[in-house]
Chain A
Amino acid sequence: MSWETVIGLEVHVQLRTRTKMFCGCRTTFGDPPNTNVCPTCLGLPGALPMPNAEAIRLAARGAIALGCTVHATSVFARKNYFYPDLPKGYQISQFDRPLATAGRVAFESPERGRIDVGITRLHVEEDAGKLVHDRFPGKTAVDLNRAGTPLAEIVSEPDLRSPAEARAYLTTLRQILIYAGVSDCSMEQGSLRVDANISIRQPGDPKLGTKTEVKNLNSFANVERALEAERERQIARAERGERIAQVTLLFNAGTGQVRELRSKEESHDYRYFPDPDLPPLVLAPEWIAEQRSALPELPEARRARLEIAYGLPTYDVRVLTSEITLAEYFEAVVAAGVEAKTAANWVMGDVMTTFNESGGFPVEAARLAALVTLVRDGVVSHQAAKRVYAELAQRPGEDPRASAERLGLVQVSDQGALASWVDEVLAAHPAEVARFKSGETKLMGFFVGQVMKRSKGKADPKGVQPVLQEKLG
């Protein structure tokens, strides 16, 4: 039997603000427990929430980037449940009147090519704190630094048809939100979290199957793995003629399996109602328009521009735009005078390697441009330049030329020096000289290589050949 998979994703991203959603506490990651707290985010008696205008601005910006309609009026609601990491016993979220609805994201599906996924809604809410189980033996501790951190929840339509497609959508979504400056989208720091809803049905069946929800997905790769595991589980049940129950599952990245957390019957009744502490959030149409025009260039637009402006291959453009910082770095290198394809090759090569290791750009665009100029002017060879690059990455502020000189990598094009290296090589290889003279001209490469070797790479290869020609001729 063949089955169609139907997937919808709920993504929480942390809005890139300095302070929390409803108080002035910092949102810094990794501070000592319970240091970024105040009466409001601790839920102390009498404290009240004060919305963070920057969080709302970023959420609106994100919604616009995802093609959503931002509503002039939205309503904060209380989502009621008891948990030790939830200081007020309710989370301030949005329910029946979210900030934004009805968006659309185009992405490249590995199976279906370029397709759209619908965005059902984007709403603003506060995060809970976190439970710490490994600090005090036999006890659970609560760290409320995260409590009140501003989040946007982005719910997709059930438009995805495979785990790989879900992953591709997430990659695109993340890229858009980073480009728009809405969130850092770092799964390691918890600033992007994914819950996935999945069901199966017979192809062509207009009705959706019973869905399950998979949680605890800590990387995009694990989203794909978890959904594959859950798809297999559902198909196996369906093929045995068993009912698929509406359950919440946890993914175990170690075993690659999903485990039932709770069934729908035991699920919470959140008893949402409008938060009486917060009047409806009213956004002027002019303000919304302002956010739209202030939106930074999104990945799609940047790709189009890079292709047209620099005449780069589609593949290069995709790699260069995969991270906004990479694209910005590339353009800075070009702006510093490096030819676009040369710049692209450098960025996709050595720069990318250091970026993947360190997440940054230890060799600033200007220094890379200076290094590329040294190659162009024949001061250093391309091979030597790669060594200089590695050196520059270790030595902040060092000039590429100084680096090359210190490493003895500046090419020698002085005729006298070249001639003496050539003489030494020819004297050391009389047999090859004889073969060359009898017509085996492809040995030229061998001689050049020997000269380079003897000069410890310092000889300018462009200067070596004429000298060899002359001496052998």
Chain B
Amino acid sequence: MSAAAVARETGARLAAAEASGLNATLHWSQALLDAEARRVDTVRGGALHGMPIALKDNIVTTDAPTTCASRILEGYVSPYDATAVIRLRAAGALIAAKANMDEFAMGSSTEHSAFGRVRHPLDPSRVPGGSSGGSAALVAAGVVPAALGSETGGSVRQPASFCGIVGVKPSYGRVSRFGLVAFGSSLDCISAFGRTVDDASRVMAAMSGHDPLDRTTVDRPPMTPPPPRRDLAGMRVGLPREYFPADLHPGVAAAMERTKAAIRELGAELVDVSLPNSAFAVPTYYIVAPAEAAANLARYDGVRYGPRKVGPGGDIHALYQATRGEGFGPEVQRRILVGTYVLSAGYYEAYYGKAQRMRARIAEDFRRAFAEGVDLLLTPTTPTPAFRAGEKTADPVSMYLADIFVCAISLAGLPALNLPVGRSEGLPVGAQLIAPFFEDERMLSAAAAIERVVAADAEVR
């Protein structure tokens, strides 16, 4: 199929999705898609030739606004393209749309967008997960085969699990953050959604590799799409007992049992491991990420770009107060306040210092588990299937706990992915595979093997 035809069909699907009220896109146009198609025609070959890919709206591009679903960046157009976008285009991909998200990637349901919540593609009363909910919904709804999201504490794996698609978070430092609007810089990773492990792997491979513009990228060769494994013979897959609590949602528990059986049938050995400090991952995350976010979001002050509100009094403090007070939504303001508090004089050690030490212990748990001979870890991605819209918005902590199984991995900087492994009462359930640092390929090839034998669309009991 020609790139022009891909652009037309993608445009038609985006229009239909929009008409259905999915609310998954923030910016797209047929004209831009057609321009992408013309550009793709000039690219020879490429691993992603003619593949339309949606971008979370916190990845900057020059031809459409990048708003992070925030009023404070309404209408903002970047003068440069993110490294990941440049690499995807070089591989022949078409940038299809900018996807809705939780404001500044803060949230687990994509209800915190300034431009309205995203609907779950299978049940509009439910959330698609977050914060990359728009990207996940577009892939799950069949609008695009792949999309980019971003992870700070599970924002791709968790919505992938809710939506029943593949979501891959790379090792920290494998994909350039240059052009990803920063939230928690030590945690942020551009990550990929795909309907299959293969699609997601090819997108990851095309984006990965050292970038001189990002000092935190690791100077090692880019990812290579792994050859699919026929089986998992000789592999040891660890089951961290802290990730299988007694009160796990029965549908999730059943899907995990089926996945474990499949892995065993593929020839891998399942072993019990312990990651005791993962219990502290959510509180640790909610100190580290807001601290970094408070600094990262200080630049949105109305001085250089974005809507400026002058405020009463007309002095610079009034300008800051009005611009930021009206520009940021409540969840973003909450995290800025938390982040400012945990870094303030007299509290630094009690919060930020302690959280950094806990982060090191959480990472050490994983290192030890892998050092003791485990090749991969398997856990549920989320404690429950997709919850209903409005269910957790009044109670931020209950929302934060939706990320209880994904947070620790982000703190440890490890590669992990969500693989759909069944449905519970019609809603997707996901399993999480976690690999040692820089063993993204091992994780992807094992996931491809499991993907072939687990029926993701089958109801579990």
> CB-nearest residue of chain B relative to A37?
B304
The count of residues in chain B whose C-beta lies closer than 8 Å to any C-beta of chain A is 44
| B353 → chain A closest CB, angstroms | 9
- Interface contact B216-A277, CB-CB below 8 Å: yes
The answer to whether B60 touches A48, judged by C-beta atoms less than 8 angstroms apart, is: no
A46 & B82 in contact (Cβ 8 Å cutoff): yes
Contacts of B320 in A (CB 8 A): 82
Q: Is the CB of B299 within 8 A of A48?
A: no
CB contact between A48 and one of B59, B184, B214, B294 (< 8 Å): that residue: B214
Select which of B178, B215, B303 is within 8 A of A47 by beta carbon. B178
Which residues from A are CB-within-8-Å of B348?
Answer: 271, 273
Q: Roughly how many angstroms separate A437 CA and B367 CA in the complex, as a whole number?
A: 112
Given contacts A44-B79, A48-B214, A80-B343, contact A90 B295 (CB under 8 A): yes
CA distance A84 to B323 in the complex (A): 13
The reply to whether A84 and B343 form a contact with Cβ atoms under 8 Å apart is no
A45 and B68 in contact, given A82-B320, A89-B295, A89-B301 (Cβ under 8 angstroms): yes
Q: Flag whether A51 is at the interface (Cβ < 8 A).
A: yes
Q: Are A45 and B73 in touch, CB under 8 angstroms?
A: yes
Closest to B185 in A: A276
The answer to whether A89 and B215 have CB atoms under 8 Å apart is no
Is A278 engaged at the interface, CB distance under 8 Å to the other chain? Answer: yes
Q: Please provide the chain A residues from 84 to 117 with a CB less than 8 Å away from any CB of chain B in the complex.
A: 84, 87-90
For residue A78, CB closer than 8 A to chain B, the reply is yes
Nearest-neighbour CB distance to chain B for A433, whole angstroms, equals: 88
Chain B residues with CB under 8 Å of A142's CB are 303-304
B298 adjacent to A273 (CB under 8 Å):
no
Q: Are A278 and B343 CB-contacts (below 8 A) given A43-B304, A82-B320?
A: no
Cross-interface CB contact of A50 among B80, B177, B212, B303, cutoff 8 Å = B212
Tell me which of A44, A88, A275, A279 has the highest count of chain B C-beta atoms within 10 A of its own C-beta. A44
Query: Do B301 and A82 touch (CB < 8 A)?
Result: yes
Say yes or no: is B30 at the interface (Cβ < 8 Å to chain A).
Answer: no
Cβ–Cβ < 8 Å partners of B80 in chain A: 39, 44, 47
Q: Is B352 an interface residue (CB 8 A)?
A: yes
Report the minimal beta-carbon distance from B175 to chain A, rounded to whole angstroms.
13
Q: For the complex of A and B, list the 4 residue pairs with the smallest distance between their C-beta atoms, beginning with the closest.
A: A89-B298, A276-B186, A276-B185, A271-B343
Contacts A87-B304, A273-B343, A277-B185 known; A50 to B299 CB distance under 8 Å? no
Q: CA A229 – CA B76 in complex, angstroms?
A: 50
Q: Given A88-B298, A277-B215, A42–B304 Cβ distance below 8 Å?
A: yes
Can you add 17 more A-B contacts, CB < 8 Å, to A46-B58, A47-B80, A48-B177?
A: A39-B80, A46-B177, A47-B178, A48-B213, A48-B214, A50-B213, A51-B215, A80-B343, A87-B299, A88-B298, A142-B304, A271-B295, A271-B343, A273-B295, A273-B348, A273-B352, A277-B182
Size of interface on A: residues with Cβ below 8 Å to B: 29
In the assembled complex, the Cα of A338 lies from the Cα of B345 at a distance in Å of 64
- As a 0/1 sequence over residues 209 to 236 of chain B, the CB contacts with chain A under 8 angstroms (1 = contact) are 0001111100000000000000000000
Q: How far is the CB of A368 from chain B (nearest CB, A)?
A: 48
Q: Is the CB of A271 within 8 A of B79?
A: no
**A45-B60 in contact given A82-B320, A269-B345, A271-B344 (Cβ < 8 Å):** yes
Tell me whether B66 and A48 are in contact (CB under 8 A): no
Contact B215 A48 (CB under 8 A): yes
Contact: A45 with B298, CB < 8 Å? no
A89 CA to B295 CA, complexed, in Å: 7
A271 to B213, CA, bound (A): 26
Cβ–Cβ < 8 Å partners of A275 in chain B = 185
Instruction: Tell me the smallest distance from the CB of B86 to a CB of chain A, in Å.
Output: 13
- Assembly CA distance A74 to B177 (angstroms): 23
Instruction: Judge whether B292 is part of the interface by a CB distance below 8 angstroms.
Output: yes
CA distance A277 to B177 in the complex (A): 10
User: Which of A43, A276, A277 gathers most chain B CB within 10 Å?
Assistant: A276
